[in-house]
Amino acid sequence: LTGLRSRRPFAEGKDVAANFRALGLDPPRLEHGDALDPNLESFKRRYNALVADPPYGHQEFSVFHELVDLYAGILRRASCVLEPGGRAVLMCPEAVAPKMPSFAEAAGLKLIALHRFDCTSGLRRHVVVAELPAPK
């Protein structure tokens, strides 16, 4: 869902950080913890995009949160860390998708898109795109 276009070559055979540096970007920083914990270092900065692929509740589960609370919480966290005009893109399961418009609204985000796609014949997911509106 996230693409990066560059004319500069990737550093073949190198790690992820080397590839980011080859593109003139800061290497990504990973942080382990509860995705809804406002004390995480990651939440002390602002971003123009947030991409999340949380647990769906089938094969993998959230240890700390019910599924709907996790998805609503991610959108609330997004509204705190996104720059105005920034977008959150996340995947969600079929069961949670109908609630995403109200979750986005409650978080102060504008729902841009909610697209369903079939992963397999019996497995559906949704791509959610929500934006933090710029101040008027």
The pTM score is 0.75
Q: What is the pLDDT of residue 29?
A: 73
Q: Tell me the average pLDDT across 73-90.
A: 94
Q: What is the pLDDT of residue 133?
A: 96
What's the pLDDT tens digit per position in 24-64?
887 777 777 787 888 888 888 898 988 888 765 555 555 66
Percentage of the chain with pLDDT > 90? Answer: 38
Q: Where are the beta strands (DSSP E) in the chain?
A: 47-52, 82-93, 110-120, 123-131
State residue 6 phi and psi, 5-degree precision: -150, 145
